[in-house]
Chain A
Amino acid sequence: MSPAPRLARRSVWAVAKKEFMDNVRSRWIVGLSGLFLALTLVVSYFGAAQTQGRTGFTGLGDTVAGMVSIAAILVPILGLMLGYAAIVGEREQGSLLLLLAMPVTRLEVVLGKFLGLGSVLVVAVLAGLGVSGGIIAVLAGAEGLGAYLAFVGGTIVFALAFVGLALLLSTVAKRRSTAIGLAVLTWFLVAVIFDTVLFGLFIATGGTFDFLAGTVDFPWWVYAFQIAIPPDAFGYFALTVFGLERTFGFRVILPGFVSPGITLLSLTVWTVVPLLAAIWRFRRQDL
């Protein structure tokens, strides 16, 4: 095994730029980002109904619960759609051979794609949350602005986790169609099935949930599992950053270990580990 060659920033940058330009023009991505913006605008108008019992642009903190529920669904879809074909698509099409014969290493290609696709998501998140946040700040005052900025940052980390995951799928799959299947499966597991199974376990282990009481009080292990999965970690990050105790009308009693720090750590691990796994997978692959 020869020593690893140095990392050429110029090559990473060239790949990132091409990837950004190629995808920022994609109709799918523009459409989904537009939908994200439209939905955040809607919830920032009606969102306060959940916390304050009235409509209108009331404040940044009031809107967050609604924005979280939209972002938790849409951001993973955006990230997975952007990244699932990044490697396997070029491989199937044939452009990957020429790319890798250029003065660029496989590590630089994966990093460049991660940065380029990540930048597209950053633009989408900033557009979606920035516009709504700006309107609220102007109409209802900038109270909670610091927390809102932290929330935007957390959303970006949450988004990057799915780019990393998508890149991993893209190096594991031998065909584009397999990668699509894996992406759909990943989304279902992470965004739908995991919470359902966890709630089932909670009930099966003798837990009870009283909708009428209006209080959510899960045992600690339910929160521990939720923190370990990106959409829930993201949701709790937003709640704790704003210090909210109510979401969708329920009073949430969080255990002490659920903090912005630990949820952000979980999201960061979900970004870095799949990315490293993708690099490791791709490094010695025969093309």
Chain B
Amino acid sequence: MSADPALSVDHLAKTFDGLRAVDDLCLSVRRGEIYGFLGPNGAGKTTTIKIILGLMFQDAGAVRIGGRDLAKDPHEIKRRIGFLPEHIAFYNNLTALETLQFYAELKGAVDEPLLDHLEAVGLRPFADEKVGTFSKGMVQLLGIAQTLIGDPELLILDEPTTGLDPNWARTVKDRIQAANERGATVFFSSHILGQVQELADRVGIVDRGKLIAEDTVENLGRRLDLKPRLRLTVEESLGAATRAVSNVEGVVSVESSGAELVVLCDRAAKARVLGRLEAMGISVRDFRTEEPGLEEVFIKLTGARRSVR
């Protein structure tokens, strides 16, 4: 039993209207890890998650949760899962506490201190207010609180921090990490590379319904050798600046983009680039670093430039 992965997906396929949303997808989530399911919008992440939870039905392939088939014992298996859907919604006439009570009743966890779950996401003061009056961010936080009911072994979170302001996104990340430290396995989807790098132990990258890479975040970072982009605004002509930095050690490419100089370089070369410009008497008015995005990952993995949202 404990040798089985927390979640495994084997050769899963799903087609709608002639479009292959999920195409022979295989992945495996180990017990106790945080697994980031990374891919652009429309890559098949939500469809995969819906199939895992029995909300959609696959054309082919199998899903096993802790080695077991959800359809065989849905009550027992779903009792151990916490789920956050991508677009979460509750019942507008129920208060925050009544909402949690309803789910706790379904999970057979009525004795749980539900106010603590509201406290954990900062919604304790709104316990007796109707969910219909909540902002979008508060609804998302209530969504996180709801995943804590029944101390689940497996958390399945679809884009948990998308659309949240940085403070609330922090709260969500903290809750995910805290649940993981208590022993929960976490499977979450995201279309933002930075979020996955920050939270996940391992990452699976999905594109057009297929898994194109699966590795630890560390290995993947090394394998892909993703470099940040330095964007500089300089006083003098871009041509002179381009010539000045192009032979700095660690610089991969220099391009001009409008009034900006865009330098792709190793992390360690950033200071050398700025130093060279200063030595050449070119004053830098402004600069910022752009962390590598999903787009770079796809270029590295597939060799093709492809626009991702």
Contact = CB atoms under 8 A, between A and B. Distances in A.
B288 interface: no
B78 interface: yes
B68 to A, nearest CB: 11
A215 interface: no
A18 B93 CA distance: 10
Nearest to A283: B57
A61 to B, nearest CB: 41
B259 to A, nearest CB: 44
B227 interface: no
A98 to B, nearest CB: 6
B7 to A, nearest CB: 14
A52 interface: no
Nearest to A5: B74
Contact of B106 (A2, A3, A95, A103): A103
B106 A104 contact: yes
Interface string A147-167: 000000000000000000000
Contacts of A93: 89
A10 to B, nearest CB: 7
Contacts of B108: 10, 103
A102 B78 contact: yes
Contact of B102 (A3, A8, A14, A100): A14
Interface in B78-111: 78-79, 81, 83, 85, 87-91, 93-94, 102-103, 105-108
B103 A97 contact: no
B69 A2 contact: yes
A210 interface: no
Interface stretch (B25-33, B48-56, B164-172): B48-56
A94 B75 contact: no
Contacts of B69: 2
Contacts of B105: 10, 14, 17
B91 A95 contact: yes
Contacts of A103: 74-76, 78-79, 106-108
Contacts of B71: 2, 5
Contacts of A95: 89-91
A102 B103 contact: yes
Contacts of B16: 286
A98 B146 contact: yes
Interface of B is mostly: loop
B286 interface: no
Nearest to B55: A287
B56 A286 contact: yes
A22 B94 contact: yes
A136 B57 CA distance: 56
Interface residues of B, number: 34
A101 B57 CA distance: 14
A102 B90 contact: no
Nearest to A104: B106
Interface string A1-41: 01101101011001101100110010000000000000000
Given A11-B106, A103-B107, A287-B56, A94 B89 contact: yes
Given A5-B71, A10-B108, A101 B76 contact: no
Nearest to A93: B89
Contacts of B285: none
Given A11-B106, A14-B102, A18-B91, A101 B75 contact: no
Contacts of B222: none
Interface in A152-194: none
A136 B143 CA distance: 52
Nearest to A13: B105
B94 A286 contact: no
B88 to A, nearest CB: 7
A5 B74 CA distance: 7
A44 interface: no
Contacts of B198: none
Contacts of A100: 53-55
Contacts of A102: 78, 103, 106-107
Contacts of B85: 94, 97-98, 101
B83 A98 contact: yes
A221 to B, nearest CB: 45
Interface in A238-287: 284, 286-287
Interface in A49-108: 93-95, 97-98, 100-105
B53 A101 contact: yes
Contacts of A21: 94
B240 to A, nearest CB: 56
Contacts of A2: 69, 71-72
Contacts of A14: 102, 105-106
Q: 6 tightest A-B contacts by CB?
A: A94-B89, A101-B83, A102-B106, A14-B105, A2-B71, A103-B78
Interface of B: 16, 50, 53-57, 69, 71-76, 78-79, 81, 83, 85, 87-91, 93-94, 102-103, 105-108, 143, 146
18 contacts: A5-B73, A6-B75, A11-B75, A11-B106, A14-B102, A22-B91, A94-B88, A95-B90, A98-B83, A98-B85, A100-B55, A102-B103, A102-B106, A103-B75, A103-B107, A105-B74, A286-B16, A287-B55
Interface of A: 2-3, 5-6, 8, 10-11, 14-15, 17-18, 21-22, 25, 93-95, 97-98, 100-105, 284, 286-287
